[in-house]
Structure 1
């Protein structure tokens, strides 16, 4: 048990120049801080087992959730239940930074649509 700083966390790049930092990573839960540059998006996908919670730290994100669109501003979040198709996008001209908490881990639990 100890503290973690984003600069010390395991970093990865996903999509088109998006960043992720594993703040916690085990089979039961992952907590990731992510950064999406302006105009980027994740592919539409679904998780069979993982429930996810997205929480916006800065910027503005658009969540496509099973055909509905939700705009999330700083200090707002939403939960995506298992089996629900979703996608996060940054339609703005600024970076968006957010946390995504997945229970259990999404490793091997993602199907692209």
Structure 2
């Protein structure tokens, strides 16, 4: 069965950010996400999940282990378990990206207090 963000399970997170579950299983999660300008997620890490963020459009800012990394269109970054990270959109345009997690990050998120 074909899947796209038009027919995928949709949810809203954070400050009106969109998530579309393309694959949702215990061993693999693939989500198409959209972040409007000036939005961000909480700084956190995962104890088991390894993640890969891949920007489809726009420019994302991600803090990884206290370092700032800019991800442009068609660039990505792998985040290993237990590494604090925070995705942000500091631009004036939407950012769309694919987030792949293995295993799923559901129930595996630890928020880092500032």
TM bucket, shorter chain: over 0.9
Tell me the C-alpha RMSD between the 2 structures: 0.4
Q: How many residues align?
A: 112
Residue deviations 1:17-62 (CA, integer Å, cap 9, x gap): 1000000000000000000000000000010000000000000000
Superposed counterparts of 1:1-113, under 5 Å: 2-113=1-112
Alpha-carbon separation, structure 1, partners of 2:45 and 2:5: 27
Q: Alignment partner of 2:101: what SS? A: strand
TM-score with structure 1 length normalisation? 0.98
> How much does 1:6 deviate?
1.1
CA drift of 1:88 comes to 0.4
In structure 2, list runs of 5 or more residues that go unmatched.
none
- SS at the partner of 2:6? helix
Q: Alpha-carbon deviation of 1:5?
A: 1.7
Structure 1 runs of 4+ aligned residues shifted over 2 Å read none
Q: CA deviation at 1:3?
A: 1.5
Q: What's the TM-score once normalised by structure 2's chain length?
A: 0.97
